[in-house]
Amino acid sequence: MKRTTLSLDEFLEGFKTKNRSVLARAITLVESENPEHQALAQELLQKILPATGKSKRIGISGTPGVGKSSFIETFGKFLTAEDLTVAVLAVDPTSKVTGGSILGDKTRMNELAIDPKAFIRPSPSGETLGGVSRRTREAMLLCEAFGFDIVLIETVGVGQSEVSVAEMTDFFMMLLQPGSGDDLQGIKRGILELVDMVVVTKDDGDNKLLIQKARHDYEQALHILRHEGWTPRVRTCSAIEKTGIDTIWSDINHFYDDQDNQIKNKRQSQLIQWMDQLVKDSLIQNFMSAVGIDQINKFREHVKSGKITPYQASQELLKLFTK
Amino acid sequence: MKRTTLSLDEFLEGFKTKNRSVLARAITLVESENPEHQALAQELLQKILPATGKSKRIGISGTPGVGKSSFIETFGKFLTAEDLTVAVLAVDPTSKVTGGSILGDKTRMNELAIDPKAFIRPSPSGETLGGVSRRTREAMLLCEAFGFDIVLIETVGVGQSEVSVAEMTDFFMMLLQPGSGDDLQGIKRGILELVDMVVVTKDDGDNKLLIQKARHDYEQALHILRHEGWTPRVRTCSAIEKTGIDTIWSDINHFYDDQDNQIKNKRQSQLIQWMDQLVKDSLIQNFMSAVGIDQINKFREHVKSGKITPYQASQELLKLFTK
């Protein structure tokens, strides 16, 4: 049975009364590709915009197996125990294939999933990372307007998804597990430079020595690539022994206290970047659908084999577009 | 007096007879913004395309004061002494301001400038880095077709110019001088990851100790960010003592022997990237000139102040474009 959507007023009323199911339906609305839903979604976003911006936006990246779910579960429970409300969202470019691999199975976070102070939402599916990112950004705004203190946005870090999460959050942390092929050499180019904190997971039992070494290596690397302003921290934690989370949280608070102005500026440039990116994406998308991938590939082949110069090919393609 | 341009046949004839002044005029032709010259330039490029691809394409970056001219002079003379012909080109985004700061003054390279086996061409001027890069790429093709064994492309590394040079060369080296504020922390984000070799300059006199430490630091950093396949080398040299150049050259040869297939693939993807980039640049340029920077800035301000969402702003801007 197809559910009819709520009206704008019903959505706004639901937000006022903190009705979780209305939040869930609002997120479904922004995720919908139906043009009518999209129009309503944009109206809703416009209405709630003044109420956004009050949450701490924290990005969490980590490859599968690093212990990301356990970390988010432990961290999330820590936060709700501090009487904070937490929304967990995801940017997962693989979800179009698997039908939602991140957070798709809420049982990965047993306790957090049933915590009344927490709200977990699986990754939206979508054809492009751009589409997935946009929906997650919009879901973030909805969660903020709804009143969540913290929004955690997780990603598996496939392709550009880490960059994308770093570009929508204030604080970007990367989870790493040493000795699992997940050491520094395994980190994709450019990612370490986005990182505000590295968290070395599974700091328990026999791992302790290995982890000390890893921590030292990461600190060295982050020092080499050090950012202006905030010096990225390297912390360790154990979901089993429940250690390390308090330090991580106090670092994050320190970051927010210390970098107040920078965060404001960062958010403003993120907004402008986002607008610019959406314009570029649309221009390219319009070009692609007008010219067609077959034509483009044909010219790519000609260029690759040295038949024509890239400049000539680009001019030909643009002629096809403006025609 | 305005020189009339040569005909296509005259250009081709000049290339056949290795007439240097014809090469110089061909480069002037690709640099010209006159539409008739551009049309002829594209015809010429199309004709000479099959003769390109045989040179070693080497990118050299370094901030002013690092000893780049001395290095290129010494390296260039070393190569011509090995009976190799060398063309030196430049991508210099600052040249529009200063009227050609890189290589503008050939006397910086006294000996190389009068070496019959060498050809030095100052950076083209241009409004955009994209324009400057395109002209340098096309000049590179002309030099290749003319028969130069080596094409050196230098840049001061302002803004994106290093990325741009790395994207048109096979082998990208960065010159660094320790103790001059030019240490690792001064390297722009992401650049170290493009580098195939770091050359520490001025390894002579009192510098030797400082340089050993710098070399170790750079090796560490490159190890952390190591590329697949080729491990970037850190070498030192002295233009005064004429040391280090032979090792650098033997490394470069080793790179070409070792990475034959990778270079072939790299060049093909560079071509396609280049075509894609030219298409994107043109699309954005068309958008910008149709909508106007004032409108775009107006929407940026609205987005920045939280009046509308980036998505809504992008849709409004695109409406203005397609209107």
Distance separating alpha carbons of residues B84 and B117, to the nearest angstrom: 7
* A275: nearest CB among B220, B272, B313: B313
Going by pLDDT thresholds of 50, 70 and 90, the confidence category of residue A290 is: very high
Instruction: Tell whether A36 is covered by a domain.
Output: no
Q: Is B42 on the interface with A (CB under 8 A)?
A: yes
Same domain, yes or no: B286 and B241: no
Supply the pLDDT for residue B227.
60
Range 172-201 of B in CB contact (< 8 A) with A:
184-185, 189-190, 193
CATH number of the domain that residue B172 is part of: 3.40.50.300
Residues B96-151: tens digit of each pLDDT: 444 445 555 555 788 898 999 999 998 777 767 777 888 899 999 999 999 999 99
Confidence of residue A104 (pLDDT cuts 50, 70, 90): low
Domains: count for chain B: 2
Q: Please tell me whether residues B208 and B90 are part of one structural domain.
A: yes
Q: Does the pLDDT value for residue B29 go beyond 70? A: yes
> Is B17 inside a domain boundary?
no
The residue among A104 and A314 whose pLDDT is bigger is A314
Q: Based on the fold, state whether residues B254 and B287 are members of the same structural domain.
A: no
- pLDDT of A159 reads 67
- Is A45 within 8 Å of B284 when comparing Cβ atoms? no
Residues B61 and B160 in one domain: yes
Q: How high is the pLDDT of residue B100?
A: 44
**pLDDT at res. B97:** 43
Two tokens, residue B161: 């110019």
Tokens 């061909």: give the residue.
Answer: B26
Structure tokens at B83: 């009976």
Asked whether residue A162 is assigned to any structural domain, the reply reads yes
Instruction: Outline where B148-205 has alpha helix (H).
Output: 161-166
- Tell which of B215, B233, B258 closes a domain: B258
More confident residue, A93 or B83: B83
Q: Are residues B195 and B77 in the same domain?
A: yes
Decide which of A229, A258, A287 is a domain's last residue: A258
Is residue A100 assigned to a domain? yes
> How close is the nearest chain B Cα to the Cα of A292, in Å?
14
Give yes or no: residues A202 and A295 share one domain: no
Shared-domain flag, residues B193 and B293: no
Average model confidence (pLDDT) for chain B? 86
Using the Cβ of A266 and the Cβ atoms of chain B, whether some distance falls under 8 Å is answered with no
pLDDT above 60 (res B197): yes
In whole angstroms, what is the distance from residue A105 CA to residue A122 CA? 8
Same domain, B293 and B156: no
Instruction: Kindly provide the ipTM of the predicted complex, given to two decimals.
Output: 0.79
Task: Report, as an integer, the average pLDDT of B274-288.
Answer: 90
Using only C-alpha atoms, what is the Rg of chain A?
Answer: 22
Range among A9-13, B33-37, B62-66 rated most confident: A9-13
Name the helix (H) or strand (E) containing A16.
helix A8-16
User: What are B2-25's pLDDT values in tens digits?
Assistant: 557 899 999 999 999 999 999 999
Tokens 């004429």 belong to B242
How confident is the model at residue A85, as a pLDDT? 97
Residues A244 and A116 reside in one and the same domain: yes
Q: Is residue B142 part of a domain?
A: yes
Query: What is the DSSP track for B251-310?
Result: HHHHHHHHTHHHHHHHHHHHHHHHHHHHHHHHHHHHHHHHH-HHHHHHHHHHHHTTSS-H
Question: Are residues B301 and B215 part of one domain?
Answer: no
A222 and A300, same domain (yes or no): no
Report yes or no: A221 at the B interface, CB cutoff 8 Å: yes
CB of A141 within 8 A of CB of A49?
A: yes
- pLDDT > 50? residue A100: no
Q: What is the mean pLDDT of residues A128-147?
A: 89
What's the token pair of residue B268? 């093909």
Q: Is the residue at A38 inside a domain?
A: no
The radius of gyration of chain B from alpha carbons, rounded to an integer in Å, stands at 22
Nearest CA in chain A to B283: A283
- A4 in any annotated domain: no
Residue B125 placed within a domain: yes
Please check whether residues A245 and A315 belong to one and the same domain.
no
A134 CB neighbours in chain B (<8 A) are 311
Q: Are the C-beta atoms of A55 and A146 separated by less than 8 Å? A: no
Whole-number Å distance between alpha carbons of A169 and A58: 5
Question: Of A53, A56, A52, which Cα lies nearest the Cα of A248?
Answer: A56
Q: Which of residues 55-114 of A touch B (CB under 8 A)?
A: none
Per-residue tokens: B79? 């190569």
Token representation of residue A89: 């969202």
3-state SS, one letter per residue, for A78-133: HHHHCCCCEEEEEECCCHHHHCCCCCCCHHHHHHHHCCCCEEECCCCCCCCHHHHH
- Please write the tens of the pLDDT for every residue from A139-163: 999 999 999 999 999 998 766 788 8
Structural domain of A136: 51-258
Contact yes or no for B191/B95 (Cβ under 8 A): no
Question: Are the beta carbons of B311 and A226 separated by less than 8 Å?
Answer: no
Q: Is the pLDDT of residue A240 over 90?
A: no
Which residues 131-170 on chain A approach chain B with CB closer than 8 angstroms? 134, 138, 141
d(CA B98, CA B100): 6
Which helix (DSSP H) or strand (DSSP E) does residue A314 occupy? helix A310-322
- Where is average pLDDT lowest: B77-81, B109-113, B145-149, B172-176? B109-113
Mean pLDDT lowest for which of A271-275, B14-18, B76-80, B94-98? B94-98
Q: Is the pLDDT of residue A58 over 90?
A: yes
